[in-house]
Structure 1
């Protein structure tokens, strides 16, 4: 049975995978995300996922049968890619632009099979509809610190969940990893999804 390796520091991705029965080894990629710029949001998410995956897949200390998963998410609003906000002021400005509107959350996925060197990459996109927050709600939410650490300055599985009115597409993708897409990639590489279930 292959060993799943998550090339991401995201606690939400890890929690999502664990809830789905997987218990990946976590190896943070350390990729400088600023090295990719000037590309459309969906492509940006995919390129960053590929870079993170490649950076970890090359490490000698990983299991020879490792399936290395790199992911990256960005929120597309008005054609711009929004990753993690720079600071609290940036997060507040974003929320004033997002409230009462919808954006598309793109998550790039890259899966590398160390046993044979095969690699797959794909992007999942989910439309997220935001509530029309008051200025006080925005200030209070940003003050919690939560939106400062996530793409798009919001969560759907945390305090920000009350500010998301609807999701069109895969809910898990908004958290940071599309489980249906990942299952398909695992199968395409010749493995059984259920073999990745822990214990």
Structure 2
């Protein structure tokens, strides 16, 4: 059975090599904005991960297993996606400064021959230190904030902002590899 990761994220691709020796990457064309946020973060990320998996599965012929993943940052009832510019990145980080937020990832496994689906979510709590305006500006000016949910990547320069973590570190990077490994064992 061919295994396909439905993600353009280089971080997810690198992390998946820790779980699987062989897989193919096919980038999903799923439009995430078609999923409306109903107030439940776990349902929201699972729906987007299902959308990505279903989109890629529809392009495949033969026996494949598609892995769809989505990660968001949740804070005070809102979804913090990827910032559109440096100003929005700064505002997000200023909001998170000194506070606790939650990172959610949805994972969906889909078998193309049977359309069988297994979907779950993982949550990790992160507490940021109090950040000075200068620290935030210096980080935002690196450009690292723009392609990441919540305007930061824990695995990079923003790792220094993290005072405390409760849950899976790899979830915050974008692929909870322990959970995915368990799902694959039970689904294959």
Scaled to the shorter chain, the TM-score interval is over 0.9
Ranges of 4+ aligned residues in structure 1 off by more than 4 Å:
none
In 2, Cα distance between equivalents of 1:131 and 1:166: 9
In 2, Cα distance between equivalents of 1:151 and 1:46: 16
The alignment covers a number of residue pairs equal to: 187
Does the CA-based 8 Å contact 2:19-2:181 persist in structure 1? Answer: no
How many angstroms does 1:150 deviate by?
Answer: 0.7
Partner of 2:59: 59
Partner of 2:69: 71
In 2, Cα distance between equivalents of 1:7 and 1:65: 16
Query: Residues 111 and 148 (structure 1 numbering): CA distance in 2 closer, same or farther, change over 3 Å?
Result: same
How many angstroms does 1:177 deviate by?
Answer: 1.1
In 2, Cα distance between equivalents of 1:115 and 1:172: 30
* TM-score, length basis structure 2: 0.93
Superposed, 1:1-199 pairs within 5 Å as: 2-40=1-39, 41-60=41-60, 64-189=62-187, 191=188
Instruction: Classify the secondary structure of the residue corresponding to 1:71.
Output: strand
In 2, Cα distance between equivalents of 1:21 and 1:116: 22
Query: Residues 172 and 36 (structure 1 numbering): CA distance in 2 closer, same or farther, change over 3 Å?
Result: same
Does the CA-based 8 Å contact 1:27-1:56 persist in structure 2? Answer: yes
In 1, Cα distance between equivalents of 2:37 and 2:69: 19
Root mean square deviation of aligned Cα: 1.4
Instruction: Classify the secondary structure of the residue corresponding to 2:70.
Output: strand
In 2, Cα distance between equivalents of 1:22 and 1:150: 26
| Unaligned segments of structure 1, at least 5 residues | 192-199
Deviations 1:43-95 (A, max 9, x none): 2211111100000011135xx23210000011110011111112111110011
In 2, Cα distance between equivalents of 1:94 and 1:25: 34
* TM-score, length basis structure 1: 0.89
